[in-house]
Structure 1
Amino acid sequence: MSDGAGRQGIALSEKQRIAWLRLIRSDNVGPVTFRDLINHFGTAETALEMLPELSRRGGAARAIRIASRADAERELELAHRHGAIFVGIGEPDYPALLRKTDGAPPLLAMKGNLRIANDVAVGIVGSRNASIVGAKFAGMLARDLGAAGYAVVSGLARGIDTAAHRASLATGTIAAMAGGLDQPYPPENVALLGEITAGSGLAVSEMPFGWEPRARDFPRRNRLIAGMGLGLVVVEAASRSGSLITARNAADFGRLVFAVPGSPLDPRAHGTNDLLKDGAIVTTNASDVLEALAPLHGPTQCQSVSGADEPSVDDSELPLPPNDGDRARIVSALGPTPVEIDEIIRHTELPAATVYLVLLELDLAGRLHRHSGGLVALAPD
């Protein structure tokens, strides 16, 4: 099902793509920092030149590691050998709904049917240790949603994810991965990943090729699942599970959250039942999802994110570095408790551009923690 506004955007040149890849692979540069750097300096190349100075001004204890051009070219070549490409956030093949989320990855490695990236999608997640009934229901749901024209997004994990992917192979499924595209997890789903990318499906990852997934990488994968779908269905989930993190992400992104009720005696239903108490939509068949999502269809106004069409910037246009007094005021206003950036601006009575630039300096020096909702805090010494 087309979203009516897919494939909007401007293609990166190969020179820009290499610069973008170098920037996002450099130390202390995450999606939010990447965006702020592009907004401040106009191009990734200029931002790369500024990284050492920004890091030094932020009080870095050592020189910042900047990914080299050779590193970026090597990763692009590795992607090519694996039949994958890197797609920038402002390019036509970037998932349209994900583009609109806070902290969306500036570059995604993608392999498979790129067309599906701009189809309207629904996420389905749940327990790795799924019950027979739970896995069967997830498969039925995915099959029915696929037949209705939706792509199905999941995380390639055991249990519910596997059932959802298998049931939507023919209609289109998207696997969001926690490691590099060449490092699928769990190992028993290597064949399934091959079926997905060889058919009408797609695999996506923001992590480098060769990157073996660690525990802390899965929440980032969960954000991809939540961001790519118009809604998210949780089939089985314990009280403390990654599926509930994905549901929280989905709610934060303004997506509809659905939950399948389960027996109070089954620990795998505790999380889904709690979601229902918190307002998730009761889901006992695909019609519950289809009816709730139907009014949300229509053109999605996917704007190109700043930095996709990079303007030329000369040195005279670059922002002046903050003075030491302004920097000290901002640092003293920060503490271990996360605060909104607007609060810092009001408290210090400094221009927003100055505050954002100092936060960039601190971030690149490893002295700033970014939290969900755009909150920031000073990292402990």
Structure 2
Amino acid sequence: MTGGAPSFSERVDWLRLARTPQVGPVTFHKLLQRYGTPAEAIGALPELARRGGRHQPLKVTDREAAEQEIEATDAAGARLLIACEADYPQLLAALDPPPPVITVRGPLVPDDHACCAIVGSRNASAIGLRFARDMAAELGRAGVVIVSGLARGIDGSAHAGALETGTIAVLAGGIGHIYPPEHAELHAAIGERSLLVTESPPGATPTARDFPRRNRLISGLSLATLVIEAALRSGSLITARFAAEQGREVMAAPGSPLDPRAKGSNRLIRDGAALIEDAEDVLEILRHAKRPATAEPPAPPWEPVDDHAEDAGEHDRLYALLSPSPVPVDELIRQSGLAPGRVHAVLIELELAGRALVLPGGFVQQAWPDTNG
């Protein structure tokens, strides 16, 4: 990228690379580190995917499609922010890696406020809903912006409680996709007075894999995450795990041991999350919460794999070590016996081939079926 604000052409190339199938956020930033500009990275994609074992040519997002997305974003009254821009939220920029592209609508500026996530059960109890709404309202009066996922239950109550003071709704689908339908007025009010945020393009309907991405954004925009009523297997616990991995504070409100909706939040407390009984408990934690550094962490080495016959076995060797469950890249380095730079290079090519998913946090897994077109 050039210094200063990116040009329109650079924004288009950035969006093309980010929207190309098989280019996840980790791969996006490693490609950028290796090639310097999105345009150079785009030019390298077909050969890298071929080396990874892709059977059909990789369909790179074309310039027209990227320009149409920018036009659709503008038409929706929203803005496209890329991770190298000055007004990209600093807390998101501190993630490793940050989402390459987000779309936002609304006047609220996250960097101007202390932000706290409140998440919890969709099937919440009456007392949980009231606690979330009252907590959000009291924190809002103290100057805290509430971040949540606009889902039924705790999320909706938290947004409603903070609507007058400021709230950020992170969406799994496109900026205009309203779900659940009963939150249409809340969605419109937040977009007018606060902020809607998403990684998905306009008009996109969310799939199952979009919700973990949304949860990572919720915690990533926040200095701390408060869980109110969460079952043992819930998206709220995924958000809490992301918060811990991101170096953010994790808090939970205790609940009855007889209520399945409290088992996950109670376990968080048992495992070291701060126990929260009132807004002052949250404010005390936020007073001492440290904003993460936004400096880009050093990238692991990446040595491009030369197209020689003796290298062909490396892709199959690493792929054979993968499974549908995420495995640490460090473990692959140990098990494969390959140099770290070689492993990173081959994993990027396997992802571009549709055979692997390189995940934030230093993990990788086999790709879902039918992604190697």
For the 8 Å contact 1:262–1:273, the answer to whether it is kept is: yes
For the 8 Å contact 1:322–1:357, the answer to whether it is kept is: no
**Which structure ranks higher in relative contact order (CA pairs < 8 Å, sequence separation ≥ 6)?**
1
For the 8 Å contact 1:153–1:174, the answer to whether it is kept is: yes
Supply the distance in 1 between the matched residues of 2:41 and 2:287 (Cα, whole angstroms): 42
Q: Deviations over 1:112-168 (max 9, x none)?
A: 025235522100001112222111111111112112222110000111111111111
TM-aligned CA distance change 1:159 to 1:369, over 3 Å: same
> 2:275 maps to which residue?
282
Q: Deviations over 1:175-194 (max 9, x none)?
A: 00000001121111121111
Supply the distance in 1 between the matched residues of 2:312 and 2:286 (Cα, whole angstroms): 47
For the 8 Å contact 2:348–2:358, the answer to whether it is kept is: no
SS of 1:151 mapped into structure 2 = strand
1:160 pairs with 2:148: no
Task: For 1:260-275, list aligned pairs within 5 A.
Answer: 260-275=253-268
SS of 2:23 mapped into structure 1 = coil
1:234 pairs with 2:265: no
Task: For 1:172-187, list aligned pairs within 5 A.
Answer: 172-187=166-181
Question: Offset of 1:289 from its aligned partner?
Answer: 1.0
Task: For 1:244-255, list aligned pairs within 5 A.
Answer: 244-255=237-248
1:341 pairs with 2:329: yes
> 1:324 maps to which residue?
309
For the 8 Å contact 1:39–1:306, the answer to whether it is kept is: no
Supply the distance in 2 between the matched residues of 1:380 and 1:218 (Cα, whole angstroms): 16
Aligned residues: 361
TM-aligned CA distance change 1:172 to 1:55, over 3 Å: same
> 1:86 maps to which residue?
80
> 1:375 maps to which residue?
363
AA aligned opposite 1:286 = A
Question: Offset of 1:350 from its aligned partner?
Answer: 5.3
> 2:141 maps to which residue?
147
For the 8 Å contact 2:173–2:206, the answer to whether it is kept is: yes
Identity percentage of aligned residues: 47
Q: Pick one of 129, 137, 140 that aligns with 1:135.
A: 129
> 1:302 maps to which residue?
294
Question: Offset of 1:203 from its aligned partner?
Answer: 0.5
> 1:124 maps to which residue?
118
Supply the distance in 1 between the matched residues of 2:271 and 2:5 (Cα, whole angstroms): 42
Unpaired segments ≥5 residues, structure 1: 1-8, 308-317
1:355 pairs with 2:343: yes
Supply the distance in 2 between the matched residues of 1:265 and 1:346 (Cα, whole angstroms): 44
Task: For 1:171-210, list aligned pairs within 5 A.
Answer: 171-199=165-193, 201-210=194-203
Supply the distance in 1 between the matched residues of 2:248 and 2:307 (Cα, whole angstroms): 39
> 1:223 maps to which residue?
216
Q: Deviations over 1:24-78 (max 9, x none)?
A: 1111011111011111111101111111111111110111111111101111000
